[in-house]
Amino acid sequence: MTLLGKKILITGASSGIGEALALALAQKGASLFLVARRADRLKELAEKTSADILPIDISEAGFLSALEKKWGLHFDVLINNAGLALGRGPYATSEMSDSERMLQVNVEAAFRLTHALLPKMLELGGGDILNLCSVAGHWTYPGGAIYCATKHALWAFTKALREETCGKNLRVMQISPGMVESEFSEVRFKGDKDKAREVYQGMTPLAPSDIARMIVFMLEQPRHVCIDELITMPTDQGSPTTVSRRTT
């Protein structure tokens, strides 16, 4: 399927996977609509991609009305990418506000946005919805109770939607990466760059551009091909808790 001129909405496009994907899709001639909170980062990206941008928090009550006012509700492709993990400690001693934030952004905001855009896709004869899940949607690990729960929720949502919309020319897909080096760990450790660096020490993580390349591959398949889910990890990672690290 050609992506030339396709209207593609990406949430969380100001860094990491979303940013890399915007750059890759611009190369394909897609018409990009990018959302994230950091306006400066989005503006820089808009200069490189000719994208239209909306700097906003997707968990805000006014997000959907702002989106509709600016762009309407019809897109050919929705990429639910914005998401975060906060904290890596035991649930018992975790901050409740961190849990709430992950649930708001990773789950509620993605579900609400999909609910707003899906009817138009169905009315106009189809579209693609691709969700950024994670290996944390397949496995669990200590210190990841809520993050894993949010990605399990997104996994289940994607699977159910896929069945529900079968026969409607709608491809509901997800990609589930393992370790990708982006701002993800820095956000998780609340700005502690040393802790974030340690996550990738002695191993070679995936790059955001690796995930972008795979998403482009998924989207470019002919219409009758739906890659329901792609699970990918660095060669140095076997599961969220199995990572091979070089010591020298």
Ligand X SMILES: NC(=O)c1ccc[n+]([C@@H]2O[C@H](COP(=O)([O-])OP(=O)(O)OC[C@H]3O[C@@H](n4cnc5c(N)ncnc54)[C@H](OP(=O)(O)O)[C@@H]3O)[C@@H](O)[C@H]2O)c1
Contacting residues toward ligand X, per CB under 6 A: 11-18, 36-38, 41, 57-59, 81-84, 105, 132, 134, 177, 179-180, 182-184, 187, 208
DSSP secondary structure, 186-198, as one string:
HHHTTT-HHHHHH
Write out the catalytic residue numbers.
147, 151
DSSP, residue by residue, 43-89: HHHHHHH--EEEE--TTSTTHHHHHHHHH-S--SEEEE--------S
- Short-list 230, 74, 60, CA closest to 158: 230
Nearer to ligand X, 52 or 57 (CB): 57
Q: Which of 80, 74, 82 is nearest to 113 (CA)?
A: 80
Would you say 109 or 118 has its CB closer to ligand X? Answer: 109
Can you say whether the dihedral through the CA atoms of 106, 174, 209, 207 is positive or negative? positive
Do the Cβ atoms of 16 and 182 come closer than 8 Å?
A: yes
As measured in angstroms, the least distance from the Cβ of 184 to ligand X is: 3
Compute the least distance from the CB of residue 157 to ligand X, in Å: 13
Name the 3-class secondary structure at 123. Answer: helix
Nearest to 63 by CA among 25, 119, 99, 117: 117
- Our CB check for ligand X shows the closer of 43 and 69 to be 43
* HSE-CB of 113 using CA atoms within 13 angstroms: 30
Residue among 13 and 32 whose Cβ is closer to ligand X: 13
Least CB distance to ligand X at residue 76 (A):
21
Minimal distance, residue 199 CB to ligand X, in Å:
8
Of 106 and 165, CB closest to ligand X: 106
Selection from 151, 156, 124 nearest residue 139 by Cα: 151
Q: How far is the CB of 143 from ligand X (least distance, A)?
A: 14
